[in-house]
Structure 1
Amino acid sequence: MTLTKSAQFTVGKLDAGMAGLLTDDYQLIEFPAVLLPKGVVLGSVVNINVGRDKEAEKRQRNEFRELQEQLLLEFGTKQPQAPVIRIEHTTQTWTIIEWEPLDLASAELRSLHLYRDGQRMMQAMPSTLEAANIIRAVKTTGLDVDHDYEFKIEMRTSAGVFFSNTVSTKTHTLDNLSGVCVCFGECDSQEEVENLKETIKRIGASWTDQVSLNVTHFITRFKTGSDYEAALHYNIPVVKPDWLLACEANSKLQPAIKFYL
């Protein structure tokens, strides 16, 4: 329903943007000139109808209320979830911490930080949400042999700071070779590779067909291939097969430097 009221005015001033309208008792009001009819000049008498559209008011209120509810649902009820982490791999001197895909709702990721035994570390971490949900793991090195550690992740967002659960791990002793994970490059023959795999089984280690974050050593006799280049990129020790045989013979982890290719 629209309620209207009409009033009569005399044009007393006319500019490009605003018109000065006079009432019968010579009160001056300003009115947008663009809303006046064409042909209006100084001295013209105009009737202006002012109406209140209650239906439009109701519709706008409903639309505004729906927008508020939508904003509340999207930004007011959903909050970022604290990271969930776990230990993926541990060796004598390093460990890998993995996390579930990060859920930030509508917030923005500001930064990720790794804590070791309650102390924030200068550890390189993914800087964007996209990168964090693609990589989803970090390797922290320089740990002591046969030592207990606790780790957690701090996630700073535009909606606040969130800490992950705390995970514990113990680095391996030198005679514990279960953390050794090797990837093979080019060897003299496939028979040599198969024999090396049998050695890996006997010492309780593992192998993989592709260079990844948890590979501890790259075994090869030749400096060729994409996996060799990947091992160099990730600073993985590139050693001769003799290194693995020495580990078995001595029943403990051997320094890689003596067997570098």
Structure 2
Amino acid sequence: MSKITTGQTLSFSEFVMLSDERPFILVTGAMRSGTTLTGELLYSRAYREQRHPGLCFDNDEGTTTRRLVHRATPPGKDLPDATRVAQEIISLAPGSGEPQVLGAKVTHVFGGLDLLRRRFPNLTLVVCVREPAEIYASHLARTGRTQAECLSICKAINATERLLEKEAGAIVVRYDHLVTNPKAFILTILEAVDLKPPEYDWSSLEAGRVASNSSFGPGQGRRFVEGTGIATFAPDRSLSSVERAIIEASCERAYLRHGFTLQTTDQERACVRGLLP
């Protein structure tokens, strides 16, 4: 069992409450980067169905994991220990028995993962990434926010890149690859936490029981087709040359790291870079 340094001597029962040795999957990334779809593939929040009998996964309904990742403590409350996190996940995403693996989705990790890792030392990090201009266009089309407000998503995209610089062992999930070949990423995640792939409910994907991101309604399932995947992505709208230059200049680190295509010139990005905060 991993040792936790707290500055005080803990009894065994107190230590057990703080640390859970089961593998823990944390799915994170900027909003609209594929985090919800990844979570839905691990445990169906829409259909309340366990995809793998050994995994319970909170797809952004609980608060305990988010509080640890965001270091958020409401007045008069302590940060949750491992027991409270596990209880919440199992209550929101129940399974057929005691899970071998726990997990949760939390978008926008601006700080570190040390508080969560102290409670779950066997942490597997899954980071979802998507071409920044697509994320911006999706926000603009679906949130009703202004262009300036939607451009603030660049802060979350860059925070994700800083996290990846510190977490070299993270599993990176590219949205455009996820929607066309979800099985590959499911297999990678299952193998990382020692869950047997044959026990995964592949038939639920083949039956189209993968809810759309926008509604989470049983009537909104997406048909999974072998070789095609869940969906073929199409950008929500075309961006102006200025919008694209701003996004590519702001998030150039993400473009270079993940092989996304820069559509503006070095000179165009340099022109807007001096205007950025």
Instruction: Tell me the TM-score normalized by structure 1.
Output: 0.27
- Between Structure 1 and Structure 2, the one with more strand by share is 1
Larger Rg over CA atoms: 1
If asked which structure has higher relative contact order (CA below 8 Å, sep 6+), I would say: 2
- Structure 1 or 2: more helix by fraction: 2
